[in-house]
Structure 1
Amino acid sequence: MESPPTVTVDSQTRKKIQCKQELIIASLQRFYTARDDLNEVVELLKGTSEISLRLVDWFVTNYAKVHSTAYTANGQEFVVYMNYKNQLKAYSKKLFDPFCRRERISFQVPGHEPFLTTVGKLNFFRWAIEKDILTYIKGHQTEIEREMNVSMRELAKKTTKSESGTRKRNTTRDIAPGTNIQKHTCEIEMRFD
Protein backbone atom coordinates (compact mmCIF):
# COMPACT_ATOMS: atom_id res chain seq x y z
CA MET A 1 0.00 0.00 0.00
CA GLU A 2 1.37 3.37 -1.02
CA SER A 3 1.84 6.05 1.61
CA PRO A 4 0.09 9.37 1.00
CA PRO A 5 2.24 12.08 -0.52
CA THR A 6 3.91 14.38 1.94
CA VAL A 7 3.00 18.03 1.65
CA THR A 8 5.54 20.51 2.90
CA VAL A 9 4.89 24.20 2.95
CA ASP A 10 7.91 26.44 3.03
CA SER A 11 7.96 29.22 5.61
CA GLN A 12 7.62 32.00 3.01
CA THR A 13 4.39 30.51 1.65
CA ARG A 14 3.02 30.00 5.18
CA LYS A 15 3.59 33.67 5.98
CA LYS A 16 1.36 34.62 3.04
CA ILE A 17 -1.47 32.26 4.05
CA GLN A 18 -3.65 33.66 6.81
CA CYS A 19 -6.86 32.39 8.30
CA LYS A 20 -10.07 34.40 8.06
CA GLN A 21 -9.81 35.57 11.67
CA GLU A 22 -6.26 36.91 11.18
CA LEU A 23 -7.34 38.83 8.08
CA ILE A 24 -10.29 40.33 9.95
CA ILE A 25 -8.07 41.33 12.89
CA ALA A 26 -5.67 43.12 10.53
CA SER A 27 -8.50 45.10 8.90
CA LEU A 28 -10.04 45.86 12.32
CA GLN A 29 -6.71 47.20 13.55
CA ARG A 30 -6.54 49.55 10.56
CA PHE A 31 -10.17 50.63 11.04
CA TYR A 32 -9.95 51.40 14.76
CA THR A 33 -6.53 53.06 14.49
CA ALA A 34 -7.85 55.55 11.91
CA ARG A 35 -10.80 56.70 14.11
CA ASP A 36 -11.01 60.32 15.28
CA ASP A 37 -13.46 59.37 18.05
CA LEU A 38 -11.25 56.73 19.68
CA ASN A 39 -12.27 57.52 23.28
CA GLU A 40 -15.96 56.96 22.52
CA VAL A 41 -15.20 53.80 20.53
CA VAL A 42 -13.01 52.33 23.29
CA GLU A 43 -15.80 52.98 25.85
CA LEU A 44 -18.19 51.04 23.60
CA LEU A 45 -15.77 48.15 23.19
CA LYS A 46 -15.02 47.98 26.92
CA GLY A 47 -18.73 48.18 27.80
CA THR A 48 -18.48 51.48 29.72
CA SER A 49 -20.47 53.58 27.25
CA GLU A 50 -23.88 55.16 27.96
CA ILE A 51 -25.28 52.81 25.30
CA SER A 52 -25.42 49.27 26.68
CA LEU A 53 -24.46 46.22 24.64
CA ARG A 54 -27.88 44.76 25.39
CA LEU A 55 -29.57 47.83 23.90
CA VAL A 56 -27.49 47.69 20.71
CA ASP A 57 -28.14 43.97 20.30
CA TRP A 58 -31.86 44.34 21.05
CA PHE A 59 -32.13 47.19 18.56
CA VAL A 60 -30.65 45.26 15.62
CA THR A 61 -32.34 41.94 16.40
CA ASN A 62 -35.80 43.00 17.61
CA TYR A 63 -36.63 46.70 17.30
CA ALA A 64 -35.31 47.07 13.74
CA LYS A 65 -37.16 43.90 12.72
CA VAL A 66 -40.55 44.92 14.15
CA HIS A 67 -40.34 48.56 13.02
CA SER A 68 -38.58 47.85 9.71
CA THR A 69 -36.04 50.51 10.63
CA ALA A 70 -34.50 52.04 7.52
CA TYR A 71 -32.64 55.28 6.89
CA THR A 72 -30.25 56.81 4.40
CA ALA A 73 -26.58 56.07 5.11
CA ASN A 74 -23.80 57.14 2.76
CA GLY A 75 -26.33 58.11 0.09
CA GLN A 76 -28.09 54.72 0.06
CA GLU A 77 -31.13 53.36 1.84
CA PHE A 78 -30.08 51.11 4.69
CA VAL A 79 -32.50 48.55 6.18
CA VAL A 80 -30.98 47.66 9.56
CA TYR A 81 -32.41 44.19 10.22
CA MET A 82 -31.86 42.87 6.69
CA ASN A 83 -28.27 44.12 6.66
CA TYR A 84 -27.66 42.61 10.11
CA LYS A 85 -28.89 39.22 8.88
CA ASN A 86 -26.64 39.49 5.80
CA GLN A 87 -23.61 40.29 7.97
CA LEU A 88 -24.43 37.37 10.25
CA LYS A 89 -24.65 35.10 7.22
CA ALA A 90 -21.32 36.35 5.87
CA TYR A 91 -19.34 36.15 9.12
CA SER A 92 -21.21 33.66 11.40
CA LYS A 93 -21.94 34.33 15.07
CA LYS A 94 -18.31 33.60 15.97
CA LEU A 95 -17.00 36.55 13.97
CA PHE A 96 -19.98 38.92 14.33
CA ASP A 97 -21.31 39.21 17.89
CA PRO A 98 -21.67 42.25 20.19
CA PHE A 99 -21.02 40.16 23.31
CA CYS A 100 -17.70 38.56 24.30
CA ARG A 101 -18.85 34.95 23.93
CA ARG A 102 -15.87 33.44 22.12
CA GLU A 103 -12.09 33.29 22.25
CA ARG A 104 -10.74 36.53 23.67
CA ILE A 105 -7.86 38.48 22.21
CA SER A 106 -5.83 41.37 23.57
CA PHE A 107 -6.56 44.41 21.42
CA GLN A 108 -4.90 47.81 21.57
CA VAL A 109 -5.61 51.11 19.90
CA PRO A 110 -3.18 54.05 19.97
CA GLY A 111 -3.19 56.00 23.24
CA HIS A 112 -5.11 53.35 25.21
CA GLU A 113 -4.21 50.35 27.33
CA PRO A 114 -4.72 46.92 25.73
CA PHE A 115 -8.02 45.26 26.66
CA LEU A 116 -9.57 41.83 26.25
CA THR A 117 -12.31 41.47 23.65
CA THR A 118 -13.33 39.19 20.80
CA VAL A 119 -13.00 39.46 17.04
CA GLY A 120 -16.79 39.15 16.80
CA LYS A 121 -17.36 42.17 19.03
CA LEU A 122 -14.79 44.31 17.19
CA ASN A 123 -16.28 43.31 13.85
CA PHE A 124 -19.87 43.95 15.00
CA PHE A 125 -19.03 47.45 16.23
CA ARG A 126 -17.10 48.28 13.07
CA TRP A 127 -20.30 47.49 11.15
CA ALA A 128 -22.40 49.50 13.63
CA ILE A 129 -20.08 52.52 13.34
CA GLU A 130 -19.77 52.38 9.54
CA LYS A 131 -23.55 52.11 9.10
CA ASP A 132 -24.37 54.89 11.63
CA ILE A 133 -26.36 52.48 13.77
CA LEU A 134 -24.95 53.92 16.99
CA THR A 135 -25.89 57.43 15.84
CA TYR A 136 -29.44 56.22 15.16
CA ILE A 137 -29.63 54.54 18.57
CA LYS A 138 -28.42 57.71 20.33
CA GLY A 139 -31.11 59.73 18.55
CA HIS A 140 -33.87 57.29 19.53
CA GLN A 141 -32.43 55.85 22.75
CA THR A 142 -35.34 56.57 25.12
CA GLU A 143 -37.89 55.12 22.69
CA ILE A 144 -35.82 51.97 22.06
CA GLU A 145 -35.08 51.47 25.79
CA ARG A 146 -38.74 51.92 26.70
CA GLU A 147 -39.83 49.33 24.15
CA MET A 148 -37.07 46.94 25.22
CA ASN A 149 -38.08 47.20 28.89
CA VAL A 150 -41.78 46.67 28.09
CA SER A 151 -40.92 43.67 25.94
CA MET A 152 -38.70 42.18 28.65
CA ARG A 153 -41.44 42.63 31.28
CA GLU A 154 -44.01 40.95 29.01
CA LEU A 155 -41.60 38.10 28.36
CA ALA A 156 -40.97 37.68 32.10
CA LYS A 157 -44.73 37.55 32.77
CA LYS A 158 -45.22 34.92 30.06
CA THR A 159 -42.42 32.73 31.43
CA THR A 160 -43.79 32.85 35.00
CA LYS A 161 -47.29 31.93 33.77
CA SER A 162 -45.93 29.09 31.66
CA GLU A 163 -46.49 25.70 33.28
CA SER A 164 -44.34 23.63 30.98
CA GLY A 165 -40.56 23.78 30.98
CA THR A 166 -40.33 24.13 27.22
CA ARG A 167 -39.49 27.42 25.61
CA LYS A 168 -42.27 29.14 23.74
CA ARG A 169 -41.43 31.37 20.81
CA ASN A 170 -42.16 35.08 20.97
CA THR A 171 -44.67 35.17 18.14
CA THR A 172 -44.93 38.96 17.87
CA ARG A 173 -41.23 39.24 17.05
CA ASP A 174 -40.90 36.14 14.87
CA ILE A 175 -42.58 37.50 11.75
CA ALA A 176 -40.07 37.20 8.94
CA PRO A 177 -39.48 40.53 7.17
CA GLY A 178 -40.00 38.88 3.79
CA THR A 179 -43.56 37.79 4.59
CA ASN A 180 -45.01 41.26 4.59
CA ILE A 181 -44.36 43.76 1.84
CA GLN A 182 -43.27 47.25 2.75
CA LYS A 183 -42.90 50.35 0.67
CA HIS A 184 -39.93 52.65 1.21
CA THR A 185 -39.80 55.97 -0.58
CA CYS A 186 -36.34 57.25 -1.42
CA GLU A 187 -34.79 59.58 -3.95
CA ILE A 188 -32.73 58.12 -6.77
CA GLU A 189 -30.49 60.23 -8.93
CA MET A 190 -29.29 58.85 -12.26
CA ARG A 191 -26.52 60.40 -14.31
CA PHE A 192 -25.41 59.54 -17.80
CA ASP A 193 -21.92 60.89 -18.35
Structure 2
Amino acid sequence: MPPNLQISLNLSTNLFDGPIPSTFSQLDRLEVLDLSNNKFSGEIPDSLTNLISLRQLILSNNQLIGNTPKFTHNVSIDVTGNSGITVDDRVFIQTRPSGESKLVLIVTLVAIGIISLVAVIIIVIMLKLSRRLKGVNIMQVDPDDEEDSTVLPEVNHGKLLTSNALHKSNINFAKAVEAVAHPENALF
Protein backbone atom coordinates (compact mmCIF):
# COMPACT_ATOMS: atom_id res chain seq x y z
CA MET A 1 0.00 0.00 0.00
CA PRO A 2 1.27 3.48 -0.76
CA PRO A 3 2.28 5.16 2.52
CA ASN A 4 1.18 8.58 1.25
CA LEU A 5 -2.49 7.50 1.12
CA GLN A 6 -4.48 10.27 2.82
CA ILE A 7 -7.90 10.97 4.30
CA SER A 8 -9.96 7.81 3.80
CA LEU A 9 -9.64 4.17 2.81
CA ASN A 10 -12.89 2.28 2.32
CA LEU A 11 -12.48 -1.47 1.92
CA SER A 12 -15.95 -2.35 3.19
CA THR A 13 -18.07 -5.18 1.77
CA ASN A 14 -15.26 -6.97 -0.08
CA LEU A 15 -15.47 -10.41 1.59
CA PHE A 16 -11.90 -10.04 2.92
CA ASP A 17 -11.08 -12.70 5.51
CA GLY A 18 -8.31 -13.56 7.92
CA PRO A 19 -6.57 -11.16 10.28
CA ILE A 20 -6.49 -7.40 9.68
CA PRO A 21 -3.11 -6.73 8.01
CA SER A 22 -0.63 -4.87 10.22
CA THR A 23 0.55 -2.97 7.12
CA PHE A 24 -2.36 -0.54 7.63
CA SER A 25 -0.21 1.03 10.36
CA GLN A 26 2.09 2.45 7.65
CA LEU A 27 -0.70 4.78 6.45
CA ASP A 28 0.15 7.48 8.99
CA ARG A 29 -1.89 10.21 7.23
CA LEU A 30 -5.07 8.18 7.12
CA GLU A 31 -8.07 9.74 8.92
CA VAL A 32 -10.82 7.17 8.21
CA LEU A 33 -10.35 3.42 7.81
CA ASP A 34 -13.49 1.45 6.91
CA LEU A 35 -13.13 -2.34 6.97
CA SER A 36 -16.79 -3.07 7.76
CA ASN A 37 -18.91 -5.90 6.35
CA ASN A 38 -16.04 -8.27 5.62
CA LYS A 39 -14.98 -11.53 7.28
CA PHE A 40 -11.91 -10.30 9.15
CA SER A 41 -11.14 -12.50 12.15
CA GLY A 42 -8.75 -12.46 15.07
CA GLU A 43 -7.77 -9.47 17.15
CA ILE A 44 -7.63 -5.82 16.14
CA PRO A 45 -3.90 -5.12 15.65
CA ASP A 46 -2.34 -2.79 18.24
CA SER A 47 -0.23 -1.38 15.39
CA LEU A 48 -3.29 0.66 14.31
CA THR A 49 -2.63 2.92 17.32
CA ASN A 50 0.38 4.27 15.36
CA LEU A 51 -2.01 5.98 12.94
CA ILE A 52 -1.79 9.42 14.57
CA SER A 53 -4.15 11.06 12.05
CA LEU A 54 -6.82 8.38 12.42
CA ARG A 55 -10.17 9.76 13.65
CA GLN A 56 -12.58 6.98 12.69
CA LEU A 57 -12.05 3.20 12.59
CA ILE A 58 -15.03 1.25 11.24
CA LEU A 59 -14.78 -2.49 11.91
CA SER A 60 -18.47 -3.40 12.16
CA ASN A 61 -19.88 -6.74 11.00
CA ASN A 62 -16.71 -8.84 10.98
CA GLN A 63 -15.65 -11.80 13.14
CA LEU A 64 -13.19 -9.97 15.37
CA ILE A 65 -12.34 -10.96 18.96
CA GLY A 66 -10.31 -9.56 21.83
CA ASN A 67 -9.90 -6.04 23.21
CA THR A 68 -10.14 -2.76 21.37
CA PRO A 69 -6.75 -1.06 21.05
CA LYS A 70 -5.88 1.85 23.35
CA PHE A 71 -5.34 4.90 21.14
CA THR A 72 -3.45 7.90 22.54
CA HIS A 73 -5.79 10.31 20.70
CA ASN A 74 -9.56 10.44 20.11
CA VAL A 75 -10.63 7.76 17.68
CA SER A 76 -14.23 6.73 17.05
CA ILE A 77 -14.35 2.93 16.74
CA ASP A 78 -17.42 1.11 15.39
CA VAL A 79 -17.29 -2.58 16.35
CA THR A 80 -21.01 -3.41 16.20
CA GLY A 81 -21.68 -6.88 14.85
CA ASN A 82 -18.48 -8.37 16.38
CA SER A 83 -19.69 -10.45 19.31
CA GLY A 84 -16.17 -11.36 20.46
CA ILE A 85 -14.95 -7.79 21.08
CA THR A 86 -14.30 -6.52 24.61
CA VAL A 87 -14.57 -2.75 24.75
CA ASP A 88 -12.01 -0.69 26.67
CA ASP A 89 -13.76 2.01 28.75
CA ARG A 90 -11.33 4.68 27.52
CA VAL A 91 -12.25 4.11 23.87
CA PHE A 92 -15.15 6.00 22.30
CA ILE A 93 -17.30 3.37 20.66
CA GLN A 94 -19.74 4.42 17.99
CA THR A 95 -22.91 2.40 18.05
CA ARG A 96 -25.78 2.39 15.67
CA PRO A 97 -29.17 3.51 16.92
CA SER A 98 -31.61 0.76 17.81
CA GLY A 99 -34.92 0.38 16.00
CA GLU A 100 -36.76 2.27 18.74
CA SER A 101 -34.35 5.21 18.73
CA LYS A 102 -34.53 5.33 14.93
CA LEU A 103 -38.31 5.61 15.21
CA VAL A 104 -37.99 8.40 17.78
CA LEU A 105 -35.55 10.19 15.47
CA ILE A 106 -37.89 9.87 12.48
CA VAL A 107 -40.92 11.06 14.47
CA THR A 108 -38.92 14.00 15.81
CA LEU A 109 -37.74 15.02 12.35
CA VAL A 110 -41.26 14.74 10.90
CA ALA A 111 -42.66 16.83 13.77
CA ILE A 112 -39.99 19.49 13.26
CA GLY A 113 -40.78 19.53 9.54
CA ILE A 114 -44.51 19.94 10.11
CA ILE A 115 -44.01 22.68 12.70
CA SER A 116 -41.63 24.50 10.36
CA LEU A 117 -44.10 24.26 7.47
CA VAL A 118 -46.98 25.60 9.60
CA ALA A 119 -44.76 28.44 10.85
CA VAL A 120 -43.81 29.39 7.29
CA ILE A 121 -47.47 29.37 6.20
CA ILE A 122 -48.48 31.57 9.16
CA ILE A 123 -45.64 34.00 8.44
CA VAL A 124 -46.62 34.25 4.75
CA ILE A 125 -50.28 34.91 5.67
CA MET A 126 -49.27 37.55 8.22
CA LEU A 127 -47.00 39.27 5.71
CA LYS A 128 -49.76 39.38 3.10
CA LEU A 129 -52.24 40.79 5.60
CA SER A 130 -49.81 43.40 6.88
CA ARG A 131 -49.02 44.55 3.34
CA ARG A 132 -52.72 44.80 2.60
CA LEU A 133 -53.38 46.83 5.76
CA LYS A 134 -50.43 49.17 5.18
CA GLY A 135 -52.09 50.50 2.02
CA VAL A 136 -55.34 51.43 3.82
CA ASN A 137 -55.50 54.82 5.55
CA ILE A 138 -58.39 54.71 8.02
CA MET A 139 -59.86 58.14 8.75
CA GLN A 140 -62.76 59.05 11.01
CA VAL A 141 -64.99 61.71 9.44
CA ASP A 142 -67.96 63.35 11.11
CA PRO A 143 -70.70 63.62 8.43
CA ASP A 144 -72.41 66.48 10.31
CA ASP A 145 -69.29 68.64 10.26
CA GLU A 146 -69.77 70.98 7.27
CA GLU A 147 -66.44 72.72 7.84
CA ASP A 148 -64.55 69.52 7.21
CA SER A 149 -63.40 69.67 3.60
CA THR A 150 -61.78 66.23 3.73
CA VAL A 151 -65.01 64.28 3.34
CA LEU A 152 -64.14 61.37 1.15
CA PRO A 153 -66.48 59.97 -1.47
CA GLU A 154 -68.08 56.63 -0.69
CA VAL A 155 -68.26 53.56 -2.90
CA ASN A 156 -71.43 51.48 -2.65
CA HIS A 157 -71.81 48.36 -4.79
CA GLY A 158 -69.15 49.62 -7.17
CA LYS A 159 -70.79 53.04 -7.63
CA LEU A 160 -69.25 56.28 -6.45
CA LEU A 161 -71.52 58.31 -4.14
CA THR A 162 -71.01 61.89 -3.05
CA SER A 163 -71.54 63.07 0.50
CA ASN A 164 -75.15 64.07 -0.26
CA ALA A 165 -75.82 60.69 -1.88
CA LEU A 166 -76.33 62.12 -5.38
CA HIS A 167 -74.52 60.47 -8.22
CA LYS A 168 -72.24 62.62 -10.29
CA SER A 169 -72.74 62.01 -13.97
CA ASN A 170 -72.47 63.58 -17.40
CA ILE A 171 -76.17 63.20 -18.26
CA ASN A 172 -77.87 66.20 -19.78
CA PHE A 173 -81.04 66.32 -17.64
CA ALA A 174 -82.84 68.76 -19.98
CA LYS A 175 -82.62 66.29 -22.87
CA ALA A 176 -83.65 63.43 -20.59
CA VAL A 177 -86.78 65.25 -19.41
CA GLU A 178 -87.66 66.19 -23.00
CA ALA A 179 -87.31 62.57 -24.15
CA VAL A 180 -89.52 61.29 -21.34
CA ALA A 181 -92.14 64.00 -21.88
CA HIS A 182 -92.44 63.37 -25.64
CA PRO A 183 -95.73 61.48 -26.31
CA GLU A 184 -94.19 59.10 -28.84
CA ASN A 185 -91.95 57.61 -26.11
CA ALA A 186 -94.84 56.71 -23.82
CA LEU A 187 -95.54 53.01 -23.36
CA PHE A 188 -99.07 51.76 -22.78
TM-score, normalization by structure 1: 0.20
From the two aligned structures, give the one with the greater helix fraction: 1
From the two aligned structures, give the one with the greater strand fraction: 2
From the CA coordinates, give the structure whose radius of gyration is larger: 2
TM-score, normalization by structure 2: 0.20
